[in-house]
Structure 1
Amino acid sequence: MVARQNAPRAAPRGPAASRRKADRDGDLAMGLPIKGRAAVGKAPPTGPRKDNGRPARGGILGANAQREILRQASGTREVTMKEERANGLRGGLVELKVTGWNKSKASSDADGGVASLIKWLEKKSSIRLGSRARNVKIRKSIVDGTDLIVKVAAEDAVGILRMNGFGWAGVNVAIQRLGGPVQEPTKVSSEAEKTKAMLRGVLERRYDLDSRFLNLSQLAQDEELKNQHIFDSKSTASKFFPAMMRVLELSFDKPEERDAAITSVSLANNDLADLTAVTTLSQTLPKIQNLDLSNNKFAKLENLHSWRRRFGQLQHLILTGNPLEQNEPNFHTEVVNWYPKLRQLNGVQVRTEEDIAKKNSTVDLPFPIRSPHFQDEGGIAEQFVRMFFAGFDNDRAGLVPHYYDEQSEFSYSVNTQAPRDPNEKTAGGEWEGYLKNSRNLKKITQLPARQARKYRGTKAVAEIMAMLPTTKHPDLAAEARKWMVEAKIVPGVPDATGASPAGVDGFLITVHGEFDELKAGQPKRRSFDRTFVLGPGGIAGVRIVSDMLTLRTYGGSQAFEPENFDNWTEPTANAPLPEPAAPGLPAGLSIQQAEQMIAQLAQQTGLTAGYAKDCFDQVGWNYDGAVEAFGRVRAQLPANAFATPAA
């Protein structure tokens, strides 16, 4: 290419160029600023990417067959997230034309702002959300009238092309590849890869590296998403956010890298009435410190319940511009209790550093707890553990109506393969009295047999417990070293009253220990593991939702006994805990998603919710597998397994 004779000389490069004033107000300014509140972070671009290439008819998600793409992108299979080396632009230099820059605020510079523009292009196109950042360099540049022609390595072209339509120094710049459209000429290998590339592009355009801020506000107004018709139907809209979070996860080699790269997120101005569409954010970015939910449609606090205690490091939360401010004027008190490290709510300080330090200080528990994870509230978990095992040993007939109701479930299983304590002198084995009703899922594989060994309601629980041998557990205070107790608060526990469809807060309590089986003639010592899910209700104010007991040959307590018990101090009741997980569900599957799957299967098969859940438990929560499992055992199921006639 021959430059026009009256064109300015090419911009200087190197130290001379770097000394010039760079990027006058050259930050990306593609989205509307968030006003009227304290900003979580510096707003990155949210505006259009103007591709010269016209999208395919109906967008890449227009056809029914292509709706499967987002499901694949959000699935559990491994997807390679390496940059596709500019999607086929391998080797050599690529020429790009930049226009619209000549009337910027930097035009008064000696070179018309060229050096500042080049520096900005290199910096912004080098930003990548992921573990493999790339340092983009412009190899050559020349001014041709109002055009800036730059040459870059083929693998860097995509990063600069992504800046098409971005704001720099008060103007929007247009970038296109000479000799071809903005979109890469080489066709991507599959529609799924094209979708993932699109989602990755959206994330990177909305990410600000300096402030570690991901701006997901006003997604429905994003030009690229509108061109792809993402929000034209509920089907694609509901799959979009989980798919984008999956792409984000796969962009990093380690979760720690992802947590370090993104500390602030905005979901402002998205017309959210609840968290159903965006719930996966808490799984992908559980350690964010700043969260903006302003100017949405949250009318009640229960619309936010699925994120209670989900962000353990949250320091600043913004909820301004939501109807709940008028509907529940005292919402601040409850929200502050959800997040133990929250310092500011709607820009107002709610805790000092001293308050947080005091909250996290070590407090001895009233009775020996043998686990670093014990979270209680009002002494509920402690009182339950004390009362339950005393009642189980001495008065099971009175214990059952005290803690169980008609929706409570109890089951036990015998683990005959568990290792035995080599120092134990008593005879082992003799499980004959237990095996008939044991629900060991590794041995009992048929759905009807599994269901028959799950006992629901006070009458059924009382009858099976009466059949178990009399027991004597060690004293919690005098023989503390024989116990290990874990407890944590979990959301989404079924509400017995039905007032809260999304569930209520409850406790997940796990107990490991031992007991003496007081059988006539030959007492035996056994080890056990017992897991309770508790919810509010019942005579005691606490009801057992689920009780699962595992019995095994005595294996000792060495595995959970401190090395120096005499100098051991109790862990804090308020120590930072892992993010609460849905009990019994695989990682990455929320309670709301599980409930939707159960409801869909129940509608399709006519099963009750309980039997539908059992189908999912049997196949690892795979929907197609659950349908197949139902088909295999349908003829063997009892009449009460069906709420409605099966389809």
Structure 2
Amino acid sequence: MLSNPPPRGPRGSSPQVRGRGRGGVQKRRTDGAGARVDRDGDLVMDAAATTADKPRSGSGRGKLSPGRTGRSQGGPVSRSGGRGNHVSDRAKQNIIRGLGGSQANVLESRITGGGPKLQVSGLKDSKAAKNPDGGLEALLSFLERKATGLDPKSNRTVKIKKSSMVGDSVFITASPDDMATILKLNSFNFAGAILKIRALDAAGKESEASASTSEVKDQLRGVLAARYDAGLKLLNLSSLIADPGLNSMGMFNGSTNTSKIFPALMIVCDELFKSRREKREAITSVTLTDNGLAKVDEVHILAEMFPDIKNIDLSRNRLTDLSSLDGWKKKFRSMEHLILVGNPIEAQLATLKDEIMKRYPKLHMLNNVQVRTPEEVAIKVAADEAARNPFPILGPSFQDVGGVGANFVTQFFALYDTNRTSFLGQFYDAHSKFSLAINMTAPRSTEVSVPVQPWSEYTKHSRNLLKINHLNARMNRQYKGVQDIQAVWATLPATRHPDLHTQGDKYMIECCTVPGLPDLTGQAAHGVDGLMITIHGEFEDQAPNNAEKSLRSFTRNFVLGPGAPGGPQIRVVSDMLSLRGWAPLPHPASSQPPPPQSTLTPEQEVLRRQQAIATQLTEKTGMTLEYSAMCLNETGWDLEKAFAAFTANKAALPAEAWVGGIPR
């Protein structure tokens, strides 16, 4: 054991930071400690003497194991926020707080005041929680390393000064800059668990800021209520500077700029709805007239909060050319009517009309003039969809054998939602395998408005091989046997699949035969035949910590084979479940070419079938087609009887009966 923690520096930083040395070969140090450099990269001669004797107080990290490496037990991680949500919850809070003019006070309370801290949750759910110290050491190292690596251009090393574990949370203290950097690690994956990090301010300041924020929100709700027309589904945001409610709040103070108040209005308005569907049904039109807008960038948040708006009025602003609309270039894909009356750009609409129509594929009214009919819009949308999918989508192929596949699918939908234990007992055995994987990056159409709910109930079992690089995790997340599978299924949220008989259009089910499956009886050395069933569809689930049901899309791949003696007659060899955010299934091509019509006479049809049967017997026995036809003719063209007759008389056949004159 090392008597003191090794110095923090390039050696302990992330790979991006480690790789930025000065390019020369460094001489190996004999004392086992890495060289320390200052902010400019110069060698600190007395670094060990000045830092080694200063352990981090309260952290409980006085000693480190010699075998410790620069990688966390959680393995490679990635941000989970994604680029789609441009306005984070923290940014929303800051916008609202800033309206009251108290933003400086709020920030000051985090730097001074009664000891700002960060609260980190999620450690108890990680694999590191099994460590002797509860995983605290691994967590703190992970936070320092990942936070340091966020900015590869900086030589600054993030350090945690103090830490303490209270219940399920870890509280840490660092410099204001380091705390701001560590906050960016919110939602990172650590040892199989998602970390939740939030700032804790001094109690008094936090309560004061919270009360101020609540008051501002109440006032903004009143402004929005006065400007909303439920009958027209219209939100009137015109001439905000003249609004008496906003002026009484002191929002402008002589300024004519709406860029400060508009984001706050949109955030408060967004909080009034529980889902994107509710927003789409409540607001279809927005008026932004007389706001002095030179670019729509000043109100870009409207596209993020309400992307499904159909009608927008931008009359009497200062929009000069097409670039003034670039902030909405790939937004509002459902817009049907755009009004630009009273803007300098109006004089250019004759030449810009085609480009505007390209930006908004469903637009059919521009400045109250029809630019294309709804039928033309439908053709345009269909053409765009066809361009994204140049090949027609064929319907599913279901090549069942003896009704085995159909019976299994029926039982699956009947039992998985209601009695998973019974379903396991009927089709799974000690050799069955199950795994699930979450595809968080599955592409979705811009038309899809169903939000993607959190995956927290599934992530600890996810075996996405593109994300999980550790061999142990890959092996441990493939579950084998009824007991292990049942234990996993018991932790998954309850589900409800659409009814197969009344809502069959929500599924695509395929079935085909597969050879070479293991023969558990040991009689077939080359394996036995089975079935592969693939189900694409959707289901609803409701996790305990989710207020509303989640709609998800899935693909489930089953491989079925003959059961072992004493087990189920048909067993599941493999069961792989893939989950992704909900999206509607693509519909098969509606027009399929008609099947070719036979031009053969009935006599020719009989002859064709007989030739096919004779060919099968030849392939099976090695006899010539002539002798195969003779054998079949004597047995009534029954292939099984013909093969039995061949077996009984095989030794008496002349050489000319065999293909090439060589008996098999």
Q: Given the two structures, how large is their TM-score scaled by the length of structure 1?
A: 0.31
Name the structure, 1 or 2, with higher relative contact order (CA <8 Å, separation 6+): 1
TM-score normalised by length of structure 2 = 0.30
Larger Rg: 2
